[in-house]
Amino acid sequence: MTPVIRPTNDKTFAETLIRHNMAAYHQQLGWHWDTALFDQQWRELESFELVVNETPVGVLCLHQEDDAYHIRELQIAPPWQRQGLGTAALYFAEARARQAGIHRLRLRVFSINPAIALYERTGFRVLNTEDAVHAMERRIV
């Protein structure tokens, strides 16, 4: 399934989806949601929504730094997971990086998150692990 991926300013949708998807990890790891931090970071990110049949079903947030494009958020609503939407979002992020002349994608993911399998399948490798979070990177050739 190929979603439409378009810019978004819908912070409420993004925050609700992220909080819902990450709640179990936050609880298990003893982390707490920081609304002020989310608000600050939201203003700094390129944010996109994944849309199927005109319904938002996911969010992708990117941040460009000098040597890498960072995937800061990639969240898919649970009923839409495992249908290729995450893979489509990763390829979209790669295309954005290429357009910017950047040759690396980076992300951080909880070490207990099954999405690691998706990231590894699409070429990401763990650089290091700290505080139950993997830093991962994929070179764009």
pLDDT at 68: 95
Q: Is the pLDDT of residue 1 over 80?
A: no
> Is the distance from CB of 70 to CB of 64 less than 8 angstroms?
yes
DSSP category for residue 81? T
Sign of the alpha-carbon dihedral angle for 56, 22, 124, 41: positive
Q: What is the percentage of the chain residues whose pLDDT exceeds 70?
A: 100
Q: What is the percentage of the chain residues whose pLDDT exceeds 90?
A: 79
Q: Phi then psi for 75, rounded to 5 degrees?
A: -130, 135
Confidence of residue 28 (pLDDT cuts 50, 70, 90): confident
CATH topology for the 4-139 domain? Aminopeptidase (3.40.630)
Amino acid at 49: E
pLDDT at 31: 82
